[in-house]
Amino acid sequence: MKKVVKFGGSSLANAEQMKKVADIILSDETRVYVVPSAPGKRFPGDTKVTDMLLEAYAMAAEGKDTAEQLAAIKARYDEIILGLGMDFSLDEDFKEIAAVLKEEPQRDYMASRGEYLNGKVLAAYLNVPFVDAAEVIFFNSEGALNTYKTEKTMAQRLEKLPRAVIPGFYGCGKDGKIKTFSRGGSDVTGSLVAQASRADIYENWTDVSGFLMADPRIVDNPAGIKYITYRELRELSYMGASVLHEDAIFPVRHRGIPINIRNTNRPQDEGTWIVESTCQKPEYVLTGIAGKKGFCTMLITKAMMNAEVGFGRKVLQALEDNHISFEHTPSGIDTMTVVVHEDEFMDKEQAVVSGIHRLAEPDAIEIESGLALIAVVGRGMRSASGTAGKLFSALADANINIRMIDQGSSELNIIIGVEDKDFECAIRAIYNTFVNSDTA
Ligand code: ADP
Ligand code: ASP
Ligand code: MG
């Protein structure tokens, strides 16, 4: 049995948390590869070390002096080192960081130092070898992960190391410079380490006892999810349930390695198991609810649209020409709606509209903003009757106007569009109907 354990920022925010992490690792000898994040928030309102580093980079890029900011970052680590009673210093590392910032500030290099330094501290504390992620994780020239080279190099390296600490969040770009994943990307590193080391379990330790049925900031004390499939999770994390980075699923999924989300502050809790497939019956028809605000719709009308071969392609061509991805395209007989991200669309709006007019010659295009999308996800929906009816009554009872409905072809999810202002209320109404008053 071999486990990869990834710890999130709040699990490593100070010495006290670091001790909990060490206890978790040392209490199970199968926890052999450790992937740390940078120190996160110690209390509400605190700043994550990654954000402090990004701020230092922004200051350097503007030619401002960063000495004070770097001292504040160093103080975060010194607090940890001192609190752990270690004889260890990051002085040399900080000299190097200051030099790079002065000579040629690089955003990704700076952002990655949070994990890099934390990895060094944790490795020294555990007395386990440190492996720089830049030596085992690679990106290609388009900036995407080079999966083949990463798996091969990392597997070869770890084969020789029975235990190791590999910092999360970054790797090496095609140009030899440090490149990070998007925010929250240490989850992806953990998954890559699990894949390359052929681990049996990828444990992802955070500050909640697993995946909850809804965002705890919206629903009070939501129920926990014991088992969730990769596909269900993908739907939920894509729609904003941000416990796990959405790309963290792919590396382990191929290998059938389950992910276990656990709580560093409550290690006795079993947490959530994310698995390929399961015969575990979900407790409720729904596995979870998640959503995001900030979408726009383009309602495109053209008489006899359905009979016109290639109409949809032409519309989507206009989006592609402007490098915009679309989320959903519900359609009617004479209408087609395209749902896009407001922030991606805003600046290119008129270029897209004229492109559609030129390519598809519609009768009219109407744009509306302020749409929130809510994904209601559950493998149990396939076999339960009346789910949609119940969902719509829940929203009607709460006086919420539904602006769009899209049932995923997998029967795994139903996507509903509501006004941004109704977002939280809609999630609570759905949750209460399916969980608090559900006997199914
Ligand atoms: P880490 O720093 O350990 O990577 P994250 O902050 O990335 O942790 O993810 C954990 C947080 O995700 C929780 O503290 C919680 O606020 C938030 N969250 C959002 N949606 C959910 C959900 N459905 N279930 C559990 N937590 C959720
Ligand atoms: N430290 C990085 C961030 O704050 C990566 C991570 O925590 O996973 O986004
Ligand atoms: Mg995270």
Atom of ligand 2 nearest to the CA of 185: 8
Task: Say what the pLDDT of residue 278 is.
Answer: 82
Length of the chain: 440
Strand partners, 206: 263
Residue 147's pLDDT band (cuts 50, 70, 90): very high
What's the number of CA atoms in the CB half-sphere (13 Å) around residue 110? 26
Q: What is the pLDDT of residue 438?
A: 52
For residue 404, pLDDT over 60 is answered with: yes
Counting ligands in written order, the one closest to the CA of 54 is: 2
Q: How far is CA 404 from the centre of its chain?
A: 25
CA atoms within 13 Å, Cβ hemisphere of 211? 31
Give residue 242 CA to ligand 1 midpoint distance, Å.
Answer: 5
Write out the residues surrounding ion ligand 3, Cβ under 5 A. Answer: 8, 184
Q: Which pLDDT score, from 0 to 100, does residue 277 have?
A: 83
Has residue 62 got a pLDDT over 90? yes
Greatest alpha-carbon span in the chain: 76
Q: How far is the CA of 224 from the centre of ligand 3 (A)?
A: 18
pLDDT at 237 over 90: no
Cα dihedral angle (396, 399, 401, 407), rounded to 10 degrees? -30
Task: Say how far apart CA 319 and CA 122 lie, in whole Å.
Answer: 47
| Ligand 1 pocket residues where CB is under 6 Å | 8-11, 37, 40, 184, 206-208, 211-212, 214-216, 241-243
Indicate the average pLDDT of the chain.
94
pLDDT at 58 over 60: yes
Distance of CA 329 from the midpoint of ligand 2 (Å): 33
Minimum-distance ligand to the CA of 185? 2
| pLDDT at residue 440 is higher than 70 | no
Rounded Cα distance, 389 and 409, in Å:
18
Q: Which of 30, 15, 14, 18 is nearest to 260 (CA)?
A: 30
Query: Which residue in 206, 186, 394 sits closest to 286, CA to CA?
Result: 394
What is the number of H-type helices and E-type strands within the chain?
Answer: 14, 14
